[in-house]
Structure 1
Amino acid sequence: MNPVFTPPLHLQRHQFVVDFVRKTKPKKVADLGCGECKLLKQLKFHRSIELLVGVDINGAKIKKHVHGLAPLSTDYLQPTNHQLHVELYQGSVTQRDARLRGFDLVTSMELIEHLTLPDVEHFSSVVFGYMSPASVIISTPNSEFNRLLPGLTGFRNYDHKFEWNRSQFRSWAVKVCLDHGYEVEFTGVGEPPQNQLESVGFCTQIGVFHRLKGSSHGNVLPGSEDEVFSYTSVYSINYPSLHDNNTLCKVLMSEVLYWAHQMTNSWMAEKTGRPNGDLPHRESEQGELEEWLSESQKQRACTGGLACSVDYFGRGEEQECGKLPQQQRSATFNRFVLVPLDGLWSCCPKIRELSGSVENLKQLLMDQPQVNLSQDGSSLLVKCEEQDPEQVDCDLEDDKGTRAVPVSCPAEPEEDWEADI
């Protein structure tokens, strides 16, 4: 039985890559021999990565495990500025493909020992010479550790073509560096029993390669005869991102409509004292409301609080206030609240973050069919109540003109719980 590593050895290898990604923050990462895509599933959460690619000779294995790379529901409900494209290919690491050129990081974990020695030479030429990434992480078994694995005879896996000791791995790595303009650091995971690290080494040996500055190795101009495409695309997905204008508009629309209704309902329920949020119609009630609001404004001025104004209007007034759908213009018993865009922008941090300015907010909302803006585009129209037409007719005799009252700012939306993932 093999000795038990805590955590398991394959997780230690993946964690080594994750730690490297956290430190160096690469934008383009490729995993060669991605298999079940376990490493890719960990790397997709790292926001420095904009392009994540996996390559494996076994296309059926990729397709079987690809579901774990799909966006989560929260990625659509709460998209962030994180731009991520995931691409999986079926192909051999001994073949060139121009789509794998110019990456920041290429990883190959426990792969080269499955190749014949002539194919290892092709692998070296393709990865270090043609792909020419900024950094490469290669891991492979350390045969010197095998004697510590009870019951092991031969190689660790039936498909291994060789297993190098530390000296053999170093010789290969140094030759790669000389041939293709890299430098290498040696390390590993899976420590041996106490006091045997020097004599035995790590169970898995790792080489971390860095391309030398100014190296011209592997520089091939786009459109040259070396620009070949030998891999077959198996899976491709773009994660929702606020950098996409359609996604940005959808999220902004959701925030605007939510907070506009929150502000309207808060004013109607709290400031009028009516649990159902009915607007006042009679002069005596309106006077009481205005007196209360006047005192409320004084209090806000003393405390430095921010106040946003809203207007309401009834039958005959809506046509002066902008683009109302025809069905709402004819429904004379509908009443609307005007919520200023500068009030929404000032009170709601998420809207400020998404739009950048009140003018940008106005421009983004102008062509959205879900919203109605006032004629000058400065306010959002929100339908606030429906009453019996006969009651509205009576009320409107006493309710002339457009009123203006302040509404308190809503509480800030909860911080995206996923923002720091």
Structure 2
Amino acid sequence: MSPLFTPSLHGQRHDFVVDFVRRNNPKKVVDLGCAECNLLQKLRFHSQIELLVGVDINGAKLRKKMHGLAPISTNYLQPTYDQLCVQLYQGSVTQKDARLRGFDLVTSIELIEHLPLDDLDRFSEVVFGYMAPQTVIISTPNSEFNRLFPGMSGFRHSDHKFEWTRVAFQSWSLNVCSEFGYEAEFTGVGQAPPGQEEGIGFCTQIGVFRRRGGLMLGDNAEDHFSYTLLYSVTYPSLRDQNILRKTLVSELLYWAEKMKNKWLDKLTEENPVEKDKPGGEEYGEIFWTNGHESQCHTLHRYVSVPLHLLWNCCPKLRELSGSLGNLSQLIIDDPQIQMNRSRSAVIICSLEHDLEDEDPNHLTDSGYAESSHVEEEN
């Protein structure tokens, strides 16, 4: 079907929604008639969204596409404080479901023209009356544009039950606004050729409906649960204490190992004989980090790395934990971390052997210089 659009008309519709989300920051978004889940794929990367829901009557299609909405490896390797839950429901947009009430944004992209007129009335009641979101975005073909498609007769798609002119769409929209307490703005995507914009309008017409201020969601509406939940996934977030702890431990072990190697390399350069002393000899070396004198200590085959030194050297540890005290509490029971008796330092193996071969609790305190103490940040 021509004329052709660049970007594609399909992409322009989705970009319109994405741009709206970027500018208005909704936290709860549902796409009705989500089909291939392409719009959901784009919206899941917008960090302000905390609940992203798709609804479609075709359960087989949802099952085929749902795993494409799962978190990717980066979400696990570099979790953020963002929260996102993605859900897919099988159900009809003419049926009520209480789990979708009170959303910030409902989208219905190229859906209403597939509904019989009787179902369209039920759609209006469900979406604007029962779900009652803050904003609704509805797109539908503009039949006035069809004359530009050579050889076209009838509707653009065999499943379309109607295609409206701009006047017909706006008339229906204003009736919905009057009945359910919304205001509407009209725009579109798919620009007409130069000189025909006003006479024909956009290829796809779009209505943006906003609930009028002061109108509250009714608390006495009956709860309905008509949809079937097919898929639900919660993305990893640092607001989850378990994920926060795992991220902290990984970061702490990385920096402790890095600092241990730095110190042992320096020790080897300055005291090559001391480095090769047999087990049982204790030795230490002072080095500088960020202007603070600090001391690592070894005994037998272990190195003691002070927590406050790790805190000073790793901004990410400070960002994640908030304070040195919080850092200590978050890692205190983690089986991957060995600490000295005073819980002031992390114990790292200095040689390639299993920590279980010896008991690191037999270490004396690392004894790092008192002058290197850094007060805990609030």
Q: Under a length normalisation based on structure 2, what TM-score does the superposition of the two structures give?
A: 0.89
Match of 2:315 in 1: 349
Match of 2:9 in 1: 9
1:205 partner letter: Q
Match of 2:60 in 1: 60
Give the direction of change, closer, same or farther, for the CA distance of 1:153–1:278 in structure 2 (3 Å limit): farther
CA contact (8 A) 2:306 2:368 kept: no
Match of 1:140 in 2: 140
1:339 partner letter: V
Find the residue that maps to 1:263 and give its secondary structure.
helix
Match of 1:266 in 2: 262
Report 1:18-417 matches (<5 A): 18-216=18-216, 218-221=217-220, 226-273=222-269, 279=275, 281=277, 293=286, 305-314=291-300, 335-385=301-351, 404=368
Q: C-alpha separation between the residues in 1 aligned to 2:152 and 2:117?
A: 23
Match of 2:357 in 1: none
CA shift, 1:271, in A, is 4.2
Structure 2 gaps of 5+ residues are: 354-363, 373-378
Q: C-alpha separation between the residues in 2 aligned to 1:213 and 1:275?
A: 75
CA shift, 1:403, in A, is 6.6
Q: C-alpha separation between the residues in 2 aligned to 1:107 and 1:232?
A: 19
CA contact (8 A) 1:31 1:108 kept: yes
Deviations 1:287-332 (A, max 9, x none): 9x86xx5xx65xx7xxx72444322223xxxxxxxxxxxxxxxxxx
Give the direction of change, closer, same or farther, for the CA distance of 1:246–1:403 in structure 2 (3 Å limit): closer
Structure 1 gaps of 5+ residues are: 315-334, 388-399, 409-421
Q: C-alpha separation between the residues in 2 aligned to 1:277 and 1:22?
A: 62
Q: Percent identity?
A: 57
CA shift, 1:195, in A, is 1.1
Find the residue that maps to 1:385 and give its secondary structure.
coil
CA contact (8 A) 2:36 2:62 kept: yes
CA contact (8 A) 1:186 1:206 kept: yes
CA shift, 1:386, in A, is 6.0
2:183 partner letter: E
| Of 374-383 and 230-239, the range deviating more from structure 2 | 374-383
CA shift, 1:405, in A, is 7.9
Q: C-alpha separation between the residues in 1 aligned to 2:317 and 2:352?
A: 29
CA contact (8 A) 2:128 2:180 kept: yes
Give the direction of change, closer, same or farther, for the CA distance of 1:133–1:386 in structure 2 (3 Å limit): closer
CA contact (8 A) 2:304 2:366 kept: no
Find the residue that maps to 1:268 and give its secondary structure.
helix
CA shift, 1:242, in A, is 0.6
1:123 partner letter: F
| Of 152-161 and 342-351, the range deviating more from structure 2 | 342-351
Q: C-alpha separation between the residues in 2 aligned to 1:58 and 1:286?
A: 70
CA contact (8 A) 1:177 1:184 kept: yes
Find the residue that maps to 2:304 and give its secondary structure.
strand
CA contact (8 A) 1:268 1:274 kept: no
| Of 130-139 and 262-271, the range deviating more from structure 2 | 262-271
Q: C-alpha separation between the residues in 1 aligned to 2:253 and 2:365?
A: 26
CA shift, 1:362, in A, is 0.6
CA shift, 1:197, in A, is 0.9
Find the residue that maps to 1:376 and give its secondary structure.
coil
1:309 partner letter: Q
Cα RMSD for the two superposed structures? 2.5
Give the direction of change, closer, same or farther, for the CA distance of 1:156–1:277 in structure 2 (3 Å limit): farther
Give the direction of change, closer, same or farther, for the CA distance of 1:191–1:401 in structure 2 (3 Å limit): closer
CA shift, 1:385, in A, is 2.3
CA shift, 1:336, in A, is 1.2
Larger radius of gyration: 1
